[in-house]
Amino acid sequence: MIGLLLKILLSPVLVFVVAYIYFQDTRKAVLVALYFYSAFSILSLIFKSIGIFTSMATFNLVSFARKSFQAITMVIMLGLYWVGYLLIWGSEFAL
């Protein structure tokens, strides 16, 4: 659980720092970090869904529950990041 939280918190922060150094603008840096995190989250969700279907096919309920929880947590955190962006900067998505 702690590893999952560190993965969620550190990857957007690292991209944000690099983007802020490049753009010198907080909004653009946050937007780049969100785009980056969203792309990798979608890719990770595809792999997790394959793992979930494999767990269902082999009747491995513990693995199914764990992977499902991770996927749901990832989607919720991604949604919270985007809601935070929308609340702070509105619907301006242009770099």
Q: Please write the tens of the pLDDT for every residue from 16-39.
A: 888 999 999 999 999 998 998 898
Residue 78: inside a domain = yes
Domain coverage including residue 10: 2-89
Q: Please write the tens of the pLDDT for every residue from 43-87.
A: 889 999 998 989 888 888 898 899 999 999 999 999 998 999 999
Spatial distance between the Cα atoms of 33 and 5, rounded to a whole number of angstroms: 17
DSSP assignment of 9-75, as one string?
HHHHHHHHHHHHHHH--HHHHHHHHHHHHHHHHHHHHHHHHHHHHHHHHTT-HHHHHHHHHHHHHHH
Please, which residues have CB within 8 angstroms of residue 43's CB and are 6 or more apart in sequence? Answer: none
The count of structural domains within the chain is 1
Supply the pTM of this predicted model: 0.76
Residue 94: inside a domain = no
Residue 95: inside a domain = no
